[in-house]
Structure 1
Amino acid sequence: YFCMQRLDDQFSTNLVLRSVKDQVERVGTCAPSLPEPQPMSDEREQLLEQMASLIRDFGDSLDREPKFNDMVDGFARVADRQSFQKLVDKVFVDDITWGKIVTLICVVGKSIAKVCSALFILPTLICLCVVSWTLDYFRDNLLNWICNRGGWINSISSLAHYSFERDFGSSSSLISLSSGVLFISGVLLGGLIVWRLNRCA
């Protein structure tokens, strides 16, 4: 169990860092100096690349949701510890789901991208603080939940049918994931056996 927890913590950390970097680079801003990703096996690195791609497409789908954009804009305007706590309280108001976890990653990544593109001074310090709060929140509040559900690989089937409306009361219906996301989901599921065999390698 402790091996699984360590690996899921490592994967969560690298996924958050990668997603933040992706979002910052997509708005044409230089990525702030973030902590270095932790080294992982080739199989996990491949899964990380695929999961990061899925989250990018997931975030693009969420861009059409007014409540999601309100979360991003509201947090990016202040980006302090209190507003971060309000954000996670809003995201996980009733329970934890894979969709809510990915939504948090998307909000954090897009908020940091907004901060970096708007500020001319100290964006790196603010971004590092937000990343640190996010990683701490994962370890303190989400890691056990992730481990108890078999790790990140088991998120795929849930995310393929994720409803933002169900979790956040949006007026829209089921998020329509692109064919690219569904293809990546298939690839990730195909790597499930390799992932499980190498979890404690």
Structure 2
Amino acid sequence: MACEVSQDDQIGEALLIRLVRDEVMNVADEDAAPPALPEVRPINNSQDQKLVEQLAETIKVIGDRLDKDKAFNDMIDGLVKVADKRSFWELVKKVFTNGQINWGRIIVLFYSVGKLSAKMVLAHLPKIVSDILTLCLDYFRRTLLEWIRKMGGWMHSIPALACFSFEQFSGSSLSKYSSYFVAILAFTGGLLLGGFIVSKLAKK
């Protein structure tokens, strides 16, 4: 069991750090220096590494659509104005409004942290990026990891995301995105499910 916990922890850590680094590097330049971020611990299991790649691609597709939504960007901009650690907890409240955890909300949280980090860099607040990442990793391990383990681990996020509906965010301030989010997650989830089935067959 300890091995499984370490595995799920490592996958989540790698996914979050990679996402934050990618978002930050997309906006970093001479005027907006990137913060020092922790290195991702190497994942020796090739299937786990492939899973991280698949999930990262899923978040990228979702994020590309969210980036075009004014309400989402207004929400992130509002959190940047808080300009301290409270911005992370405000984000958690918005994503997990009713306290319910599901795969979709975890994915949205991870992307939002990456987006918020990039905005903090543009606002010349790199120290807060490190604080937010640390808080999110801690929140992941203290709150989300146990739920992920109960669901059978990150691998089980793929079939779940294949049929995920943004309607699961009912009651959340993010539910306004449901009109296009359902289609995007259904399409991306379908691709992931195909990869999941292939990987499972390859193990047999």
- The interval holding the TM-score normalised by the smaller chain is 0.7 to 0.9
Matched, 1:110 2:118: no
Q: Is the 8 A contact 2:162 2:188 kept in 1?
A: no
- Aligned residues of 1:156 and 1:189 also touching (Cα < 8 A): no
Deviations along 1:93-123, one digit per CA (max 9) or x if unpaired, are 220011110110111000111111231xx51
The one-letter code of the counterpart of 2:60 is R
1:88-99 pair list within 5 angstroms: 88-94=92-98, 95-99=100-104
CA–CA separation in structure 2 for the residues paired with 1:68 and 1:164? 14
Partner of 1:82: 86
- How many residue pairs align between the two structures? 193
Quick one: structure 1 residues 73 and 91, their matched pair in 2 at CA, closer, same or farther if it must change by over 3 Å?
same
| Counterpart-to-counterpart distance in 2, 1:194 and 1:75 | 44
1:173 aligned residue: 179
Normalization by structure 1: what TM-score?
A: 0.83
1:8 matches 2:8 = yes
SS at match of 2:14: helix
> Contact conserved, 2:24 with 2:121, CA < 8 A, in 1?
yes
Is 1:160–1:182's contact at 8 Å kept on the other side of the alignment? yes
**Equivalent residues of 1:50, 1:188 under 8 A apart:** no
SS at structure 1 position matched to 2:101: coil
CA distance in structure 2 between the partners assigned to 1:142 and 1:110 by the alignment = 20
The question of whether the paired residues in 2 share the 8 Å contact of 1:24 and 1:113 is answered with yes
Change in 2 beyond 3 A, CA 1:130/1:107: same
How far off is 1:46 after superposition?
A: 2.1
Paired residue type of 1:53: E
Provide the C-alpha distance between the structure 1 equivalents of 2:68 and 2:51, rounded to a whole number of angstroms: 27
Shift of 1:64: 4.2
The root-mean-square deviation of aligned C-alpha atoms, in Å, is 2.6
Find runs of 4+ consecutive structure 1 residues off by over 6 angstroms.
none
TM-score, with structure 2 as normaliser = 0.82
